[in-house]
Amino acid sequence: MSTTQQSFNVSFIGNEPAPGDGNLFRAFAPARHENLADEFANVSPEQADQAVTKAAEAFPIYIKLMPAQRADFLDAIASELEALGDELIERAVLESGLPTGRISGERGRTTGQLRMFANLLREGSWVDARINPAMPDRQPLPRTDLRRMLVPIGPVVVFGASNFPLAFSVAGGDTASALAAGCPVVVKAHPSHPGTSSLVGQAIVVAAQKMGMPDGVFSLLHADNEVAQQLVAHPLVKAVGFTGSRAGGLALLRVAQGRPEPIPVYAEMSAVNPVVVLPGAISQDSGPNSATTVAAGLAASVILGVGQFCTNPGLVFLLDSPNTASFLETVAEKIKASSPATMLNAGICSAYQKGVQQNRIVPGVHVLAEADVDGESSQTQGRPIVLSTTAPIFLSSEFLSEEVFGPSSLIVVCATETELEECLRSLEGQLTATIYATPTELTHADIDWISLLQAKAGRVLFGGFPTGVEVSEAMTHGGPFPATSDSRSTSVGTGAILRFVRPVTFQSFPDELLPSALQDANPLDIWRNVDGKMMK
């Protein structure tokens, strides 16, 4: 294996470092607003084909490994990422503009989810084994032996995300869940953090070699948009994982659906994550149910990470009450006291500024507050801002409900419950929806607010703010379109593995030819559904 310095700026086609044959580009440091010295080369279409072909060749070998072997591989990846030490942290900070503490925490999240999937494999029940033994004497017709389980679908293409250079990128949740499922992975690195991607790619390759994984189980490609679409169109690719813009996700979805064999694209794309505040939640003068407490929490959530979370609360619906003015005053105070901060890249910052400008010039939309600028702001700095309007203005606009990716939010003051209900029903699908209310308000309401929000989002919060996404068994990070392209899936938590598997029933097989999970002796010692009863 090549050293870090030798393979720092290359792609990996299987286990081999591969200098790209395509166009050259440089990494960019948004905090410095300058290109870095390192030069990267995108792969050619021929190199992309080699990576997918290797993945397809690795698949029948990888699929036959015992779950514990795949689990050991995931653990080894986590260990190799940790072994990169400060080099990985420093490079990710340089390329993303995110602070060291954030990147260190993100590395912990990345290694944690790798180990979470390793534990899932060792426990084993996720394969959903179902067994109906033969009943030859059943009348009026005998029943043949039927055994069903989930199996991997084949090579998966994963697109790295801009806003999470570790946790949603090369070794992130899509890659971890696909490898856990038994699918080889080809990652298309995000151009905003190519050096970070190469370091992580090398760590995975080292882990694969140490654990004896088949060559091609993982590849990392620096690639332009044309080659990216070629990867999705490749006949040997069976699924795609994507986190990014709606335009990018829909472009990949069109390619996948236009293939002779359409394949699923699990795209996380766009969300404004509405927060609903009913009067009872801000009725007290102090404490958790006060206007100042809830408003301060909202402002902190809006500016967290320069607003560059897919769960950023970009839209707030406030049912008018005597404490509305206090709520708005506190939000304004907190936002005005905040500061502009570096965004992930100049393109994201420019799109943010355009989105804010588009909203603020709408008649009836007012600037509640924006952060003060001390000196000349950089082309990569996002200025926190909160706008306000009324329900009729919001409902008459074509774009006020659209995502503005950055530290901004729009507060819509609703005069009546009917206005609030109409606003919520007008929304597209969301990753999250939050409601602040008292239990009494919800149990005695004429409108079923919880059911309304449940229909719109994959995660519904009672209080709090959605910017923290726990990596756990119970988490859903997905939602109705356009939050994701498939509302039945999640990209966070152990349920993410289900995106890259399909059910197969084995009928009348000799026991010795069955997968281990379905054999009579249950050698994996997993929970199985046998004639409707869970047992080992």
423 is known as an active-site residue = no
Catalytic residue among 268, 370, 403, 419: 268
Coil, helix or strand at residue 206? helix
CB burial string 276-313: b at 16+ within 10 A, e below: bbbbbbbeeeeeebbbbbbbbbbbebbbbbbbbbbbbb
Distance of alpha carbon 125 from alpha carbon 106, whole angstroms: 28
268 is known as an active-site residue = yes
Asked if residue 165 lies in contact with residue 528, where contact means CB atoms within 8 angstroms, the answer is: no
CB burial string 333-365: b at 16+ within 10 A, e below: ebbbebebbbbbbeebbebbbebbeebeebeeb
Burial of 528 (0-12, 13-18, 19+ CB in 10 A): buried
What stretches of 337-413 show up as alpha helix (H) in DSSP?
A: 346-360, 391-396
Distance of alpha carbon 429 from alpha carbon 456, whole angstroms: 5
**Partner residues linked to 283 by β-bridges:** 290
**Partner residues linked to 148 by β-bridges:** 130, 505
- The candidate with the shortest Cα–Cα distance to 426, out of 267, 318, 317, is 317
- Write 41-44 long-range contacts (CB < 8 A, 24+): 41/9, 41/10, 41/222, 42/222, 42/223, 42/224, 42/227, 43/11, 43/13, 43/18, 43/221, 43/222, 43/223, 43/227, 44/20, 44/227
Catalytic residue among 183, 310, 349, 423: 310
Write down the residue that tokens 């049912």 correspond to. 319
Write down the residue that tokens 């293939």 correspond to. 259
Q: Which residues contact 277 (CB under 8 A, 6 or more apart)?
A: 294, 316, 317, 318, 319, 327, 436, 437
- The candidate with the shortest Cα–Cα distance to 126, out of 470, 509, 476, 499, is 499
List, by residue number, the catalytic residues.
268, 310
